[in-house]
């Protein structure tokens, strides 16, 4: 299988040094939270940072590079995504308690796992991570957040590998974190991060995590394929409120449907294509624009080519 990697490497024999997992034309249906979408042309799941660095150093310059965590905020169009995709779970989950209120966390760690660990170390301020289903890397890139907290509040500094496999470190203040976005360049790979909270009693942290979980269960669809919030809020307007005024609960486009529990969530009713989600989203954008004069912006990252799958 590694032979398929050779065309995108400067020195094809380097494949012998690689120890991660490689896939050619891998469908995202079982990788993405939407359970829909096309194929990733080349997919590599690195074993560790050294392995990833060897691969990056050998990549031909023309190959497009895309990094993923859990694909909980990403829709890959049905025609698939060209170039090399890197998925970051594997060995990037390490979590170390550095100093009193600082955790060093691998970018592949799940936000939920980090929230759980914050109980053991009695570090407050990380509870909101329990409500986000992605990885730490995806969360930093997106400046993900909920219930009044976001990554921007807890990131101290971030370690990256650049496209050539070279290590780079940035302090939080060197990164422009905005509402559900950052200015991190697409070809910088987040490998680990120092997160800082504050001293907090274990029981209080547990209580807050429990509160978040209850809020989620009562307000968001559970157990069905979705990408979470589809659109960003617009200034002081909540996207879900605007959409709910349209009366579009259960509106469908192919297999994609607007959740009646949370109108800013689209769910896969079974066999949705990526195009069903994109078309449904565009219908909502048009309706909100014509009714309220507001152009909603996608929070979901949509990548790849249109086409059949
Ligand atoms: C049920 C549900 C609930 C959700 N609730 C929330 C919520 O409350 N708040 C919120 O903000 N979001 C929420 N989301 C969206 C999503 O979980 C977050 O945006 C999350 O941070 C994405 O992480 P991920 O690992 O899945 O990223 P992916 O979807 O894999 O990637 C997202 C973006 O980050 C980039 N990226 C990922 N990993 C790296 C890396 N290591 N280095 C560089 N770039 C990287 C990708 O290229 C992509 O552009 C929800 C999603 C679902 C399905």
Identify the CATH number of the domain defined by range 221-303: 3.90.78.10
Backbone φ, ψ for residue 165 (5° rounding): 85, 15
Distances (CA, A) of 254 to 249, 250, 280: 15, 12, 9
From the centroid of its chain, how far is CA 92? 15
Identify the CATH number of the domain defined by range 95-204: 3.30.465.10
Mark whether 229 is an active-site residue. yes
CA of 142 to the centre of ligand 1 (A): 6
From the centroid of its chain, how far is CA 184? 14
Q: Is 141 in the pocket of ligand 1 (CB under 6 A)?
A: yes
Residues of the chain with CATH 3.90.78.10: 221-303
Q: Which of 28, 32, 73 to mutate to test the pocket of ligand 1 (most atoms within 8 A of CB)?
A: 73
183: left (phi over 0), alpha (psi -120 to 50) or beta: alpha
CA of 227 to the centre of ligand 1 (A): 9
Q: Is 190 in the pocket of ligand 1 (CB under 6 A)?
A: yes
Specify the DSSP class assigned to residue 69.
S
Separation of first and last alpha carbons in the chain: 22
Residue 251 in contact with residue 283, Cβ under 8 Å?
yes
DSSP codes, 4-56 = GGGGGBSSGGGGGG--SEEEEEEESTTTSTTS---EEEEEEE-SSHHHHHHHH
Q: pTM of the predicted model, to two decimals?
A: 0.96
Can you tell me the distance from the alpha carbon of 284 to that of 279, in angstroms, rounded to the nearest whole number? 9
Ligand 1 atom index nearest CA of 189: 42
Residue linked to tokens 């560790």: 48
- Nearest CA residue ID for atom 13, ligand 1: 132
Of residues 27, 111, 45, 42, the one with CA closest to residue 73: 111
Residues of the chain with CATH 3.30.465.10: 95-204
Q: Which CATH number is 2-87's, of 3.30.710.10, 3.30.230.10, 3.30.43.10, 3.60.15.10? A: 3.30.43.10
Residue-wise burial string across 132-142, b where 16 or more C-beta atoms lie within 10 A, e elsewhere: bbbbbbbbbbb
- Nearest CA residue ID for atom 15, ligand 1: 73
From the centroid of its chain, how far is CA 6? 28
Q: Is 225 in the pocket of ligand 1 (CB under 6 A)?
A: no
- Nearest CA residue ID for atom 38, ligand 1: 138
Q: What is the pLDDT along the chain (309 residues), one digit of tens a residue?
A: 677 888 899 998 888 899 999 999 999 999 999 999 999 999 999 999 999 999 999 999 999 999 999 999 999 999 999 999 999 965 677 888 888 899 999 999 999 999 999 999 999 999 999 999 999 999 999 999 999 999 999 999 999 999 999 999 999 999 999 999 999 999 899 999 999 999 999 999 999 999 999 999 999 999 899 999 999 999 999 999 999 999 999 999 999 999 999 999 999 999 999 999 999 999 999 999 999 999 999 999 999 999 987
Can you tell me the distance from the alpha carbon of 151 to that of 24, in angstroms, rounded to the nearest whole number? 33
Q: How many helices (H) and strands (E) does the chain have?
A: 6, 21
Q: Is 264 in the pocket of ligand 1 (CB under 6 A)?
A: no
Q: Which of 32, 43, 49, 138 to mutate to test the pocket of ligand 1 (most atoms within 8 A of CB)?
A: 138
């Amino acid at each position: 299988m590694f032979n398929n990697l050779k065309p995108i490497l400067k020195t094809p024999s380097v494949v012998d040094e690689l120890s991660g997992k490689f896939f050619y034309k891998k469908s995202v249906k079982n990788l993405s939270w939407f359970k829909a979408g096309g194929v990733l042309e080349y997919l590599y799941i690195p074993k560790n940072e050294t392995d990833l660095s060897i691969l990056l150093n050998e990549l031909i310059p023309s190959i497009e590079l895309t990094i993923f965590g859990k694909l909980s905020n990403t829709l890959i169009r049905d025609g698939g995504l060209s170039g090399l995709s890197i998925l970051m779970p594997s060995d990037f989950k390490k979590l170390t308690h550095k100093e009193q209120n600082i955790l060093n966390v691998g970018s592949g760690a799940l936000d939920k796992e980090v929230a759980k660990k914050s109980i053991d170390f009695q570090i407050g301020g990380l509870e909101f991570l329990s409500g986000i289903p992605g990885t730490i890397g995806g969360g930093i890139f997106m400046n993900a957040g909920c219930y009044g907290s976001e990554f921007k509040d807890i990131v101290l500094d971030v370690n990256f590998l650049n496209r050539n496999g070279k290590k780079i470190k940035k302090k939080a203040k060197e990164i422009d974190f905005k509402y559900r976005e950052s200015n991190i360049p697409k070809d910088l790979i987040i490998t680990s991060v120092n997160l800082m909270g504050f001293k907090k009693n274990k029981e209080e942290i547990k209580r807050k995590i429990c509160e978040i979980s209850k809020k989620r269960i009562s307000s968001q669809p559970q157990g069905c394929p979705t990408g979470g919030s589809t659109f960003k809020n617009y200034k002081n307007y909540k996207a879900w409120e605007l959409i709910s005024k349209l009366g579009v609960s259960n509106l469908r486009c192919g297999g994609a449907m607007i959740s009646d529990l949370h109108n800013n969530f689209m769910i896969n009713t079974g066999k949705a294509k990526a195009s069903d989600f994109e078309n449904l989203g565009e219908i909502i954008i048009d309706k909100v624009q014509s009714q309220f004069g507001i152009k909603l912006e996608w929070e979901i990252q949509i990548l790849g080519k249109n086409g059949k799958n």
